[in-house]
Amino acid sequence: MTPAQRKILTDVRRRIQDGTDDFICHALFHVPGKNHDRFYLKCYISRKLGHHCSLGSWIKENRPNLSRDPEMMKEYRLLWIDWMLA
């Protein structure tokens, strides 16, 4: 991941954490950065989700015992961003 893409994800994380956005892919297009970096990240996320359109859908199928409460989903998204940034 390039420094520019890391910066975008860091900004996305901030928007998810402060409640400005609920979904990572939506937030990608509301932070500063070049479109090709945002599209790269969106494609990367889509590949990780496979046939699922959202992290919630992926969790429902792959980890059905996890809570899908909105606050927990926010935590899962933040953890996933942290994993991508690691």
| pLDDT at 6 exceeding the cut of 90 | yes
For residue 10, name the pLDDT band (cuts at 50, 70, 90).
Answer: very high
The span from the CA of 56 to the CA of 22, in Å, is 11
Q: Give me 72's structure tokens.
A: 């927990």
Q: Is the pLDDT of residue 68 over 90?
A: no
pLDDT score for 18: 98
Among 43, 45, 44, smallest CA distance to 55 is for: 45
pLDDT tens for 31-54 read 999 999 999 999 999 999 999 999
| Residue 24 banded pLDDT, cuts 50, 70, 90 | very high
Q: Where are the domains of the chain?
A: 3-85
Q: What is the pLDDT of residue 75?
A: 95
